[in-house]
Structure 1
């Protein structure tokens, strides 16, 4: 039986782990490897690129975590009575949907 936390958003999880590995290895190569071509040092470029990859992986981790949030209850399950703001939002949404349908259908 798979772990419960890995059930949703598997692609984003793989993306985040891959970007972490790639980013950290790029930073380490940029710091410790002597990378000079024609007298120019390219270590800084790899460090900055690796940090950018790690930041991208952080976005992936946030998406994965938010996709795995469970236990949220629906409003209809709470016996929630709709107020004026809810009715206004619903009527506005219905108007937008109707106007969109009239523009889409020939």
Structure 2
């Protein structure tokens, strides 16, 4: 199987790097809220909220890449050490 063995128990875990996972989720939520408030609220500073929300969402992609990269499990036999 490409993604590893299937889990038999019903629990779901964020992996070995839970800090990056929860930080990425937090930044996604904050960025989405700022973006949507900037779009739908009638405020004078809507452009600041839209740009800030978009930047926070783009910055959260960095934490998603860290989380994914640090959770890759490679057997020692496949490493050429």
TM-score, scaled to structure 2: 0.77
Larger RCO: 1 or 2 (CA < 8 Å, sep 6+): 2
Name 1:32's counterpart in structure 2.
Answer: 40
Unaligned runs of 5+ in 1: 36-40, 77-106
Residues of 1 paired with 2:12 and 2:71: CA distance? 12
- CA shift for structure 1 position 3: 3.1
1:19 aligned to 2:27?
A: yes
TM-score, scaled to structure 1: 0.60
Count the aligned residue pairs: 70
Match of 2:72, SS state, is: coil
Residues of 2 paired with 1:31 and 1:7: CA distance? 35
Unaligned runs of 5+ in 2: 1-8
CA RMSD of aligned residues (A): 1.6
Residues of 2 paired with 1:61 and 1:51: CA distance? 16
Matches within 5 A, 1:21-100: 21-35=29-43, 41-72=44-75, 73-76=78-81
Residues of 2 paired with 1:9 and 1:75: CA distance? 25
